[in-house]
Every structure is written in structure tokens, then in C-alpha cells.
């Protein structure tokens, strides 16, 4: 059978790659043949995932970097190209979604949420896309959220940042196409580390067609599809992986 998800010889950079959905994608991409750059704020956590990738027979680089900070994103790109010489797949996965009543949101918190969920992904994509063009192509995957489509209280800054991320996805696809494909995954509720703070009911059920939150590994095939040549005619779109959110 044809391996539609073959990533042999590709280099993938994943922000927020040390846990949750990021870790699942890192290991899945490695299993499909890619070498992996794992980035998050804590180097120790990145090294743990990098070791898992190396145990699969792939190369890996762990880089401590805050995805919401302009200069650190620049250093992350420099480290990636110094080690591997190219990046074929960029996954802008790092994010935060604190639920806070709008009247209690400080300017500092607002700026942090927007920086991590929108400014950082823009900076990384803007830095890496020209290199991808010069190398003959690449795929950028932005991890968005159903909050960008479905009105939700107390996450206004997060929802706004993810809506901006969706707009950016379409804009960059036009700017850097046809060689660079840019897409987004609109993720629903997933049972990642953040779900440990949810009420028990929210961990069992969800207001979607599936009737439940997703398991972290259920992001994998959507990500593999967008990263691989299987989606060669897909760009500038937002793919929902949310169990059918209502």
C-alpha cells in the first residue's frame, strides 16, 4: 500500500513540542521518517522528547525557546538551520488559553496570550517561509482552535488571537505559495495536560458530535496529512479536528 504520509528525509520544527499535542506530532512525524526539532520553554522537557525521537532512529534537536518572544524565535530559527540546514515542516503549536473574566484581564496577560498564539507563529512563519521557498517548498501548520469560530466567554483574547491566526494562515498561503503550503488545524477539546484542571464531566463529555474530548493521539493523522505530500493541493485552509463542535 502506498505510504501517503511518508516524511522520509524531512526536517520538522514543532513549537510546544515537549508535551500534549506537540509531543504526539513530534513522535508521529519521526515515525513517518522525519528528523525533529523540539522547542518549548524548558530544555529538559524538550530533551526528553528528543531522546524518544532518537530512540526511533531519527535525528533530533532540543531547543529552549519562548514561542511568544520575537527575538527568541529568531534564535530558534538560527539553531534549526545551523543544525540541519533547512526546515521542511513548521508546526506552530505552542499556545495558552487562560479562562479569565474579561474585566479582570490585565494588559500583561492580554499581550502574553496574543504574543504566544499569534505574534510568535507569525514571526516563525515569516522567517522560515523564504528559506522554504529557496529550498523548493515546505508545509506550515498552525494549531488553531474552535474558539475562533464559536463564541465562548472568558477567553476573548485567546479566541481573537486564534481568529487572527486563521486569517494569517490564508494570507501567508497566498504570499508564499505555490511552493509553501500554509494550513491550520482547528483543534477541539483534547485530553492534554491542560485538561487536568477541567471538571470531571468535561473530561468525559463534550458538546460535539463525538460526544467526548479527543485523545491527544487523535491529532496525528490530521497533522500528518497536512505535513505530507498527501495534501499537495491543500493550502490556505483551516481543517477542523474537533469531534464536530456544535
Average pLDDT for residues 46-56, to the nearest whole number?
A: 98
pLDDT tens digits along 200-235: 888 899 999 999 999 989 999 999 999 999 999 999
Give the pLDDT of residue 2.
66
- Annotated catalytic, 40? no
Give the predicted TM-score (pTM) of the model. 0.95
**Domains contained in the chain, CATH given:** 11-241 (3.40.50.720)
pLDDT band at 239 (very low <50, low <70, confident <90, very high): very high
pLDDT tens digits along 149-182: 987 899 999 999 999 999 999 999 999 999 999 9
Which one-letter DSSP state was computed for residue 142?
E
Query: Residue 65 and residue 5: Cα distance in Å, rounded?
Result: 28
- Annotated catalytic, 144? yes
Query: Residue 195 and residue 95: Cα distance in Å, rounded?
Result: 14
Torsion 237-63-45-115 (CA) sign: negative
Grid cell for residue 101: 473574566
> Which one from 144, 186, 228, 235 is the annotated catalytic residue?
144
Q: Are 138 and 128 in contact (CB under 8 A)?
A: yes
Cis peptide before 186 (omega within 30 of 0): no
> Which one from 39, 40, 162, 186 is the annotated catalytic residue?
162
pLDDT tens digits along 117-143: 999 999 999 999 999 999 999 999 999
Sheet holding 180-187, edge to edge: 60-64, 35-40, 11-15, 89-92, 138-145, 180-187, 238-241
- Annotated catalytic, 145? no
Amino acid at each position: 500500500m502506498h505510504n501517503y504520509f511518508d516524511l522520509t528525509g524531512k526536517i520538522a520544527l514543532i513549537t510546544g513540542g515537549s508535551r500534549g499535542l506537540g509531543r504526539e506530532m513530534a513522535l508521529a512525524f519521526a515515525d513517518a521518517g522525519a528528523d525533529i526539532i523540539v522547542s518549548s520553554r524548558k530544555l529538559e522537557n524538550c530533551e526528553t522528547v528528543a531522546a524518544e525521537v532518537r530512540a526511533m532512529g531519527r535525528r533530533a534537536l532540543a531547543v529552549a525557546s519562548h514561542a511568544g518572544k520575537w527575538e527568541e524565535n529568531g534564535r530558534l530559527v538560527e539553531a534549526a538551520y545551523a543544525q540541519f540546514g533547512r526546515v521542511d515542516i513548521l508546526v506552530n503549536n505552542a499556545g495558552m488559553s487562560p479562562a479569565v473574566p474579561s474585566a479582570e484581564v490585565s494588559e500583561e496577560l492580554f499581550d502574553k496570550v496574543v504574543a504566544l498564539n499569534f505574534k510568535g507563529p507569525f514571526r516563525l512563519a515569516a522567517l522560515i517561509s523564504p528559506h522554504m521557498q529557496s529550498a523548493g517548498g515546505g508545509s506550515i501548520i498552525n494549531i488553531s482552535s474552535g474558539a475562533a469560530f464559536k463564541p465562548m466567554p472568558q477567553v476573548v483574547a485567546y479566541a481573537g488571537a486564534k481568529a487572527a491566526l486563521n486569517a494569517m494562515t490564508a494570507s501567508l498561503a497566498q504570499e508564499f505559495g505555490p511552493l509553501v503550503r500554509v494550513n491550520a488545524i482547528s483543534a477541539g477539546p483534547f485530553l492534554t495536560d491542560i485538561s487536568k484542571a477541567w471538571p470531571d464531566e468535561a473530561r468525559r463529555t463534550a458538546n460535539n458530535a463525538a460526544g467526548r474530548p479527543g485523545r491527544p493521539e487523535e491529532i496525528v493523522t490530521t497533522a500528518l496529512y497536512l505535513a505530507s505530500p498527501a495534501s499537495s493541493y491543500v493550502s490556505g485552509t483551516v481543517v477542523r479536528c474537533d469531534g464536530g463542535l456544535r
